[in-house]
Amino acid sequence: MAHLKMNTLRTLPIALTLTTGLFLTACTEPRDNQNTDSITGPMTASTANTAIEQAQEEYTASQQVGHAWSSAQAALDAATTAHDAGDFARAASEADHAAVLAEASLVQASAEQGAWLERFPKAPEGKISGTSTQDSSEPEPE
Amino acid sequence: MSVNTKRGGAMSKVLDSVVAGLVTLFLYGLASSTPAYAGPEADRQAMRAHYEKRFPGIPVEAHKDGVYAFDENAREQWLELEDFPPYEIAVDEGEEFFNIPFADGASYSDCFSDGAVKSQYPYFDEDRSEVITLELAINDCRRQHGEEPLPYNSAEIVRLSAYIAFLSRGQIIAVAEPSSESALAAYNEGKRFYASRRGQLNFACNSCHVQLAGNRLRSEHLSASLGHVSHWPAYRLKWQDVGSLHRRFARCNQQVRAEPFAQQSVEYRNLEYFLTYISNGLPLNGPAIRK
């Protein structure tokens, strides 16, 4: 029992030193290593503006193929609002988010080019012959 | 000389390979850029067969009432509402608008005779090479008589179309089968729109209304595609007003976080064209009440 206490007393300072060291390291970890490059550092109006322009470009491309996402537009709006309010870090962060969403919508548009056709029910076999097989019970189209 | 001949032979082989490659690429491109579309009538038959199988015992024509075709509780509540229909005021106002003469002395009846013309729309106008909907025709009529066109989200155009829909009740949807190349292209664009996943939630119209029709999305049943166009404009309890089919399209797009298109945009008109064609044979029953 006394032996155990002695061991604990010997290791306690080492454990405390290690814990304090790790804690301080975590606290002093540079922010630019936290995968938030765009919202740290000397963010200026022009940097944020560039991010917004890039996001807008992606969004316009998604509009042109008819697959724009409203969430991308909302993020772009938030970026512009933050920029106007002088919060350039937030503006850049929102613009990055908008760009990611717009890129995803472009991927969707590309993937859908061929995929959509497989989603329709197939005509029952033997029921369709040629292109004009309307039910006789129904009126002819005008 | 022999060296030149050999060189010439080698060049010829290279050229042959290049030509063969180009032809292969061209054919591949042709094949991949021209999807194998089923014809409109095949689509319509396939849709009918799908819903007959999906909802056994429910006649396809019953889908003109949307979810009320198979949700008994909702149907009872809807029929109660029909005793004093909330769209009635809109129909009355539409009648007033219909009869107000234009500045040149003409009126809507010069374009739409007695007004019971809903079953004539939409159609593909070969001269203009576009789909003409009732709302588009209303504005065409106004322009012909020197009036300003109405905004497509205006109360006036919605009420006018509600009145025309009311007069046209019971007419059978009978859109002519798209036969020209441009009409087929418009139809296929509408069809593509209907089946393409869009928005951040990655849903297509037919995800809910073909593949999942009859299932519940939260507390609501999902209706069948057939009959989606038969009852518009409709009074939506959510809107507390009568609204157009294209307003509903836009709302559906917004719900999956897709950027909606403008009412009467080419995209929505082509979509209406496709949906109306596959609903051929169903009766018109607008204006209706929907949640």
CB-CB contact of B260 with B254 (8 Å): yes
Q: Can you tell me the mean pLDDT for A5-21? A: 53
Name the residue type at position B190.
G
A123 touching chain B per CB within 8 A: yes
Give the residue from A63, A97, A119 with the most B CB atoms within 10 Å of its CB, the best one to mutate. A119
Amino acid at B133: T
Q: In chain B, whose CA is at the least distance from the CA of A106?
A: B198
Q: Looking at residue A10, what is its pLDDT?
A: 58
Helix axes A45-64, A70-84, angle to 10 degrees: 160
Q: How far apart (Å, rounded) are the C-alpha atoms in residues B247 and B151?
A: 13
B257 neighbors A71 (Cβ within 8 angstroms): yes
Tell me which of A98-107, A115-124, B39-48, B263-272 is least confident.
A115-124
Residues 35-54 of A with CB under 8 A from B: none
Closest chain B residue by Cα to residue A73: B259
Cβ distance B49 to A119 less than 8 Å, yes or no, reads no
B65: left (phi over 0), alpha (psi -120 to 50) or beta: alpha
**Closest CB to B47 among A121, A127, A128:** A121
3-state secondary structure of A29: coil
Copy the structure tokens of residue B88.
Answer: 């009635």
Residue range A52-74: average pLDDT? 97
Q: What are phi and psi of B199, to 5 degrees?
A: 80, 165
Strands B288-290 and B234-236 turn out to be parallel
Nearest in space to B76 (alpha carbons), one of B67, B88, B63:
B67
Helix and strand numbers, DSSP H then E, in chain A: 4, 0
At residue A131, the pLDDT reads 38
* Model confidence at A93: pLDDT above 90: yes
Q: Does A138 touch chain B (CB under 8 A)?
A: yes
Distance between CA atoms of A40 and A26, rounded to whole angstroms? 17
Supply the pLDDT for residue A103. 97
pLDDT at position A126 is: 52
pLDDT of residue A26: 44
Confidence tier at A130 by pLDDT (50, 70, 90): very low
Backbone angles phi, psi at B174, to 5 degrees: -145, 65
Please say if the pLDDT value at position A141 is more than 60: no
Q: What percent of chain A has pLDDT over 70?
A: 57
Regions of chain B where pLDDT drops below 50: 1-8, 14, 17-34
Q: Is the pLDDT reported for residue A42 higher than 80?
A: no
* Chain A residue with minimum CA distance to B194: A116
| Shortest Cα–Cα distance, B150 to chain A (Å) | 26
Q: Say if pTM beats, i.e. exceeds, 0.90.
A: no
Output DSSP code: residue B289.
Answer: E
Q: Rounded distance, CA B137 to CA B113, Å?
A: 13
Of B45, B172, B257, the CB nearest to A123: B45
- Under DSSP, the state recorded for A138 is S
Confidence at residue B31, expressed as pLDDT on a 0 to 100 scale: 43
Going by pLDDT thresholds of 50, 70 and 90, the confidence category of residue A17 is low
Residues of A in contact with B258 (CB under 8 A): 67-70
Interface membership of A131 toward B (CB under 8 Å): yes
B208 is catalytic: no
Residues B97 and B95: their CA atoms lie apart, in Å, by 5
In the DSSP assignment, the letter for residue B184 is: H
Nearest chain A residue to B209 by CA distance is A120
Top-confidence residue, A22 or B244: B244
Quote the tokens at residue A35. Answer: 């995968």
Question: How confident is the model at residue B3, as a pLDDT?
Answer: 42
C-alpha distance from B165 to closest chain A C-alpha (Å)? 18
- Over the stretch A24-41, which tens digit does the pLDDT of each residue have? 444 433 333 334 444 455
What's the ipTM?
A: 0.80
Residue of A nearest to B37 (CA): A117
Q: Are B74 and B221 in contact (CB under 8 A)?
A: yes
Do A69 and B259 count as a contact with CB atoms less than 8 A apart?
yes
Q: Does A134 touch chain B (CB under 8 A)?
A: yes
* A81 alpha carbon, distance to own chain's centre: 19
For chains A and B, what is the number of CB pairs under 8 angstroms?
113
Residues of chain B positioned with their CB less than 8 A from the CB of A128? 39, 41-42, 45
Task: Read off the DSSP letter of residue B103.
Answer: T
More confident residue, A33 or A3: A3
Q: What percent of chain B has pLDDT over 70?
A: 87
Render pLDDT for B73-92 as a digit per residue (tens, 0 to 9): 999 999 999 999 999 999 99
Residues in CB range of B34: below 8 A, 6 or more apart: none
Q: Which pLDDT score, from 0 to 100, does residue B275 have?
A: 98
Place of tokens 């009766």: B283
CB A67 within 8 A of CB A113: no
**Segment (H or E) for B82:** none
Residue whose token pair is 């304090």: A20
The DSSP string of B221-258 is EPPPSTTTTTT-SEEETTTTEEE-HHHHHHHHHHHTTB
Distance CA B8, CA B279 (A): 64
For residue B132, report the phi and psi dihedrals to the nearest 5 degrees: -105, 120
Please say whether the beta carbons of B41 and B187 come within 8 A: no
Q: Are B126 and B183 in contact, with CB atoms under 8 Å apart?
A: yes
**Is residue B275 within 8 Å of B190, Cβ to Cβ?**
yes
Decide if A121 and B210 are in contact by the 8 Å CB cutoff: yes
Given a contact cutoff of 8 angstroms between Cβ atoms, the answer to whether B51 and B63 are in contact is yes
pLDDT(A138) > 70: no
Q: Strands B220-221 and B130-132: what pairing?
A: unpaired
- A:54-113 residues touching chain B, CB 8 A cutoff: 63, 66-71, 73, 101, 104-105, 108, 112
